[in-house]
């Protein structure tokens, strides 16, 4: 029986980054709770196009009181997950073959379900999305978005991400990212925001 495990040096960098991120999250006395999961569809970006179906949820990040260091603080972070991000293969293994959803899950994995059927199936398995969602990764994503907007002018930010500088949508996205920078500072120091942003870039 082979009991050997991969050493950190042989692990992919994104796996190492995940481990470092979770360790950083815990070391800063942070906890996360995922709530309000539901299926939603964004408005199409183009006339006649299809809206993006996803699971929308809220991640509550709380920083515990540490006397002499920092006060208790809480932020609510809105987050969206694509319908394919649940562990559908794991769900399939736990679903009996006679269950009506068994065939639907197989089709979901094979990308053969109609959009409305995908949404219906995801709605039945919202707990899988909650389980997959990492509060540390969501917080890091906010830090990265906020850091980029906070350290770049709108023009530079558009050049970086390929947005049209005359687009109102691009400006609204830029402002939302700036708001993200303000939000994360309620639970993180400036130095820790940078650490989270850097780790997010490695995921």
Inform me whether the pLDDT recorded for 187 exceeds 70.
yes
Bridge partner list, 60: 33, 76
Taking each helix axis from N to C end, the angle separating 135-150 and 190-200, rounded to the nearest 10 degrees, works out to: 110
Sign for the CA dihedral angle at 83, 143, 198, 65 comes to negative
CB neighbours of residue 20 within 10 Å? 16
Inform me whether the pLDDT recorded for 189 exceeds 60.
yes
Where in the chain are the domains? 8-86+125-200
By 3-state DSSP, what share of the chain in percent is helix, strand and coil, each rounded to 5?
50, 15, 30
Question: pLDDT per residue over 24-45, tens digit each?
Answer: 999 999 999 999 999 999 887 6
Model pTM?
Answer: 0.87
Inform me whether the pLDDT recorded for 68 exceeds 90.
no
- Residue 130 is predicted with a pLDDT of 96
Contact assessment for residue 151 and residue 190, using Cβ atoms and an 8 Å cutoff = no
- Residue 48 is predicted with a pLDDT of 66
- Residue 65 is predicted with a pLDDT of 87
- Residue 9 is predicted with a pLDDT of 63
């Amino acid at each position: 029986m082979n009991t050997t495990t991969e050493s950190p040096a042989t692990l992919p960098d994104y796996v190492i980054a995940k481990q470092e991120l979770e360790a950083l999250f815990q070391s800063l006395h942070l906890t996360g709770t995922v709530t309000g999961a539901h299926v939603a569809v964004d408005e199409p970006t183009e006339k006649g196009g299809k809206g993006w179906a996803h699971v929308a949820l809220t991640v509550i990040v709380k920083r515990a009181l540490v006397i002499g260091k920092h006060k208790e603080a809480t932020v609510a972070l809105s987050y969206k997950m694509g319908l394919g991000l649940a562990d559908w293969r794991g769900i399939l293994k736990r679903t009996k073959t006679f269950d009506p959803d068994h065939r639907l899950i197989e089709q979901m994995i094979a990308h053969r379900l109609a959009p409305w059927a995908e949404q219906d199936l995801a709605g039945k398995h919202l707990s899988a999305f909650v389980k997959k969602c990492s509060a540390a990764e969501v917080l890091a994503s906010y830090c990265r978005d906020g850091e980029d907007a906070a350290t770049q002018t709108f023009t530079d930010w558009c050049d970086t991400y390929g947005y049209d500088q005359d687009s109102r949508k691009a400006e609204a996205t830029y402002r939302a990212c700036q708001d993200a920078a303000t939000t994360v500072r309620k639970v993180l120091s400036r130095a820790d925001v940078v650490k989270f942003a850097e780790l997010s870039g490695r995921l």
